[in-house]
């Protein structure tokens, strides 16, 4: 879980169009969410450990790559959203790409994560809104 703020606004649209499209999420002062992130991995179950990957390794990776980066941030101020509206859909895609790179990176080759495949990222934005992304296609809402 992490907390972050954002304002949904597209500079290519008029202020009126932004208000109509994004509603209260277009508040000029932004608004915040307590996001819940769910990470799904797959792979062979290791006979010795009984796990696809060690959850301590996975939690450490998510904490370092995602939570440390986004917790208590204004998403609009981050470089990845310089030219992109920081919707939760876009955040979900970006986090998937970050974790996919992290899990395949050299510094994790000696951990159980090197054998796991990232399958899906799911974000709960509110009790009523959740988004998931599995790579290669647009997020489902």
What CATH code is carried by the domain that includes residue 24? 3.30.479.10
Q: Catalytic amino acids?
A: 25, 72, 125
Please provide the DSSP assignment of the chain as one string.
Answer: -EEEEE----TTS-HHHHHHHHGGGG-TT-EEEEEEEEEEEE-PPPTTTSSSS-HHHHHHHHIIIIIHHHTTEEGGGSGGGSSS---HHHHHHHHHHHHHHHHTSGGGTTSGGGG-EEEEEEEE-SSS-EEEE-SSSPPB-
Mean pLDDT of 85-99: 96
Q: Which domain holds residue 28?
A: 2-133
Is 121 among the domain residues?
yes
Is 141 among the domain residues?
no
Looking at the chain, the whole-number percentage of residues with pLDDT higher than 90 is 84
Considering the chain, what is the average pLDDT of its residues?
A: 92
Residue 6 has pLDDT above 90, yes or no: yes
Q: Which of 32-36, 91-95, 114-118 has the lowest mean pLDDT?
A: 114-118
What is the model's pLDDT at position 59? 94
What is the model's pLDDT at position 140? 55
**Alpha-carbon span 114 to 139, nearest angstrom:** 25
The domain total for the chain is 1
99 neighbors 65 (Cβ within 8 angstroms): yes
What is the model's pLDDT at position 47? 93
Residue 110 has pLDDT above 90, yes or no: no
Is 138 among the domain residues?
no
Q: Which band of pLDDT confidence, cut at 50, 70 and 90, is reported for residue 108?
A: low
**Alpha-carbon span 9 to 50, nearest angstrom:** 46
The 10s digit of each residue's pLDDT in 37-61 is: 999 999 999 999 999 999 999 999 9
């Amino acid at each position: 879980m992490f907390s972050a703020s954002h304002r949904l606004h597209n500079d290519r649209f008029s202020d009126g169009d932004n208000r109509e499209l994004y509603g209260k999420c277009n508040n000029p002062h932004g608004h915040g969410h307590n996001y819940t992130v769910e990470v799904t991995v797959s792979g062979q179950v290791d006979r010795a450990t009984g796990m696809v990957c060690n959850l301590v390794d996975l939690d450490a990776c998510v904490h370092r790559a995602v939570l440390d980066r986004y917790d208590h941030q204004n998403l609009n101020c981050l470089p990845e959203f310089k030219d992109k509206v920081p919707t939760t859909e876009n955040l979900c895609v970006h986090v998937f790409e970050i974790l996919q790179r992290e899990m395949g990176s050299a510094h994790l080759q000696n951990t159980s994560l090197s054998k796991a495949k990232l399958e899906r990222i799911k974000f709960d934005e509110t009790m009523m809104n959740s988004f998931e992304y599995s790579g290669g296609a647009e997020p489902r809402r």
